[in-house]
Amino acid sequence: MAGFREYKIGARIFGLALGGSMTITLFFPSINIASTSSTDVALAKQLAVGHETGFNLDDPLLQGKNKPYVVYLKNDPKTNQPLAQAMTVYVYPAGAPFPAGIIHPRILGEGIEQMSVEQGHITDARKDAGAVFALDKGVYQGKQISFINDLTASKGWAPADVMRVAKDEDVSHAGKGKTMFVREGCWWCHTLLPEQTQDWQVFGAPPMQGDFNGESPTAFGSDRKAPDLLHVGSRNSSKEWLMMHFFNPRLVQPHSIMPRFDYLWGEKDASGNKIDYVKWRAEYTEYTEGKRVTPPDVPSYASDSEIRSLVDFMLSLK
């Protein structure tokens, strides 16, 4: 009998602890996340990376399929004449799923939702036709706010036309790049979440609460073994350096523990020549053994390679 009594006490304490913690979780949330408005960072970020950069049925193997492009547009996509002012647009080719804010405008936040729907016509956007979005400024109840404008609806700009008039160097594949970031497990070592206190001075300001509306997954990382990357593009914006560092981090940081990501170059380099990884590594080994003065050159990447998108994503982290 005594044993049963202890069991009953144990069960009650367990019930109390579980009930107590569930009560706190369900009834006392200190922040109402749903009521947080998107910041400009969140609006730009979700338009740049698109629907989902983690596992999803559209892209089960995380190849970065059906992702948007960020285009610095200098010419009118209909006439090909220079625009009065160059602008940043987010191009969703036909079939690319829209980000959460377009599908559920409510998460954009008060005012941004109303303006994006009424003036920006985002509810007219159709996935099968694709769409071109931009961020615009407007006044809602006397306050200046940013909202999303569907330029396919308002100006008749087709995604294919924008891509035709844009130069490759003005196009960023950051959305596909974030998929690479998730797939390659960069978050295993790197965080995307500088904290208060000393982080501020080295890695930049912590994010705001509304910076994450519509983003999935956030890829904060947890256990940091390497520099925080949330603002890496503003302190380290050299494509040359990033290329060398990704091909083999030891080229620029002799004692780096970061793995090499040379396979993201794929089969062929920028000029369409086959990349000879075996030869490269043999030459690199000679270099580390002091039998060569300089390391072999890192191949320049093809414009549709996975590494291009990862570099674009790094440079988008400002």
Separation CA 200–CA 206 (nearest Å)? 7
User: In this complex, which beta carbon is closest to ligand HEC, that of residue 74 or of residue 231?
Assistant: 231
How many residues contact ligand HEC, by CB under 6 A? 22
Tokens of 42: 């969140």
Q: According to the binding rule CB under 6 A, does residue 307 interact with ligand HEC?
A: no
Question: Which of 41, 148, 138, 176 shows the shortest CA–CA distance to 89?
Answer: 148
Cβ 70 to ligand HEC shortest distance, Å:
18
Tell which positions 10-39 bind ligand HEC, by CB under 6 A: none
Tell which positions 204-263 bind ligand HEC, by CB under 6 A: 225-227, 229, 232, 236, 249, 253, 256-259, 261
User: In this complex, which beta carbon is closest to ligand HEC, that of residue 54 or of residue 259?
Assistant: 259
Question: What are the beta bridge partners of residue 82?
Answer: 75
Measured at the alpha carbon of residue 27, what is the angle toward residues 23 and 29, in degrees to the nearest 5?
Answer: 115
Cβ 237 to ligand HEC shortest distance, Å:
10
Tell which positions 141-170 bind ligand HEC, by CB under 6 A: none
Separation CA 246–CA 193 (nearest Å)? 21
Separation CA 132–CA 158 (nearest Å)? 7
Tokens of 116: 């994006």
Question: Which of 315, 169, 306, 180 shows the shortest CA–CA distance to 242?
Answer: 315
User: In this complex, which beta carbon is closest to ligand HEC, that of residue 177 or of residue 296?
Assistant: 177
User: In this complex, which beta carbon is closest to ligand HEC, that of residue 165 or of residue 180?
Assistant: 180
What is the strand order of the sheet 82-92 is part of? 143-150, 131-140, 82-92, 69-75, 171-172
User: In this complex, which beta carbon is closest to ligand HEC, that of residue 171 or of residue 232?
Assistant: 232
Cβ 222 to ligand HEC shortest distance, Å:
13
User: In this complex, which beta carbon is closest to ligand HEC, that of residue 147 or of residue 313?
Assistant: 313
Task: Answer whether 207's CB lies under 8 Å from 103's CB.
Answer: no
Tell which positions 175-204 bind ligand HEC, by CB under 6 A: 181, 184-186, 188-190
CA 94 to chain centre: 20
Residues at the interface with ligand HEC (CB under 6 A): 181, 184-186, 188-190, 225-227, 229, 232, 236, 249, 253, 256-259, 261, 310, 314
